[in-house]
Amino acid sequence: MTKKIYYDIEDDLKLCPDAWCYIVCSKRGPGKTYSTLRHEVNEKQKFLFLKRTIEDIKMLCASGSKNISFDVSPFVPLNRDFGWDIKPALIVKGIAGFYHSDDEEKPVGAPIGYAAALSASKDIKGFDMSDVEDMIFDEFIPKKGERINRSEGEQLLDLYMTVRRDRVLRGRKDLKLICLANAVNVNNPTFQVLDIVDTVAEMDVTGREYCYLEERGIFIHILNNEYAQESEKSGIEKAMEGTAWYDMAFGGHFSFDDFTSVQHKRLKGYRPLCSYTYKKKDVYIYEKDGYYYA
């Protein structure tokens, strides 16, 4: 079997076809967004590509025009590699469509998919997206220094339900939520609302690559270092080796989080102090020799 250099979302979709939510985290560059959008186009199915803010959508649609020299559309490498001509165009504020384009870069026909800002989710409720099959949240983990909306996780699930509507009752397959990001911060709004912070933290600590929470229909994949592995280390890779940033960017670890106190302890010798309820779960605090264990 030939070893794959880049990640392919289709492997995960085939591995757990019954999941409704797919979480994929990694270092930079293994091709998470690339393979996911390629899958959508190849399957000829409508998708919703989510970014965080209205400004993200505005920049997405402005880039690549004749007046701007750069292009941040996620379809740039796909257009290059497959000879496609897919470009984004604004529909209304915060919502855009991905279209095939003509020689003058003007949209042709109906959109093959949509792009939208999560912050504009209330406006999406009045926009018919019943033809969407997959909802893709790109870069769902905020970067360091990026402003975080603490209710973002709830907004994501509310939007999911808006797009999902009554599709299952009408005999259609369930809407899939695909969340893609670099491994920056394990305690992020999406992990919080899905209640998988502890699960992902334990996966990172133990080096576990896959986890399928079958009863909840949530599939988690933390990509290992074998994807997009260069034969020799680059200059920045050599310079930053041994730092937390290196472990995130080149190792795919949640290295900005401190996991040194995350471990299992035998309760022998510990005495119970108190308990509290957090998100409908009971947490018990024990003490031994000045150390506290939750």
* Structural domains of the chain, ranges and CATH numbers in brackets: 9-263 (3.40.50), 265-294 (no CATH)
pLDDT at 226: 66
pLDDT at 233: 62
Residue 23 CA to residue 211 CA, distance in Å, equals 10
Flag residues of the chain having pLDDT under 70: 1-4, 63-70, 126, 145, 225-261, 279
- 3-state per-residue secondary structure call for 102-143: CCCCCEEEEEEEEEEEHHHHHHHCCCCCCCEEEEEEECCCCC
pLDDT at 1: 42
CB 249 within 8 A of CB 182: yes
* Structure letter (DSSP) for residue 172: P
Mention every residue, 6+ apart, whose C-beta is less than 8 A from residue 74.
Answer: 33, 34, 37, 49, 138
For the entire predicted model, the pTM comes to: 0.84
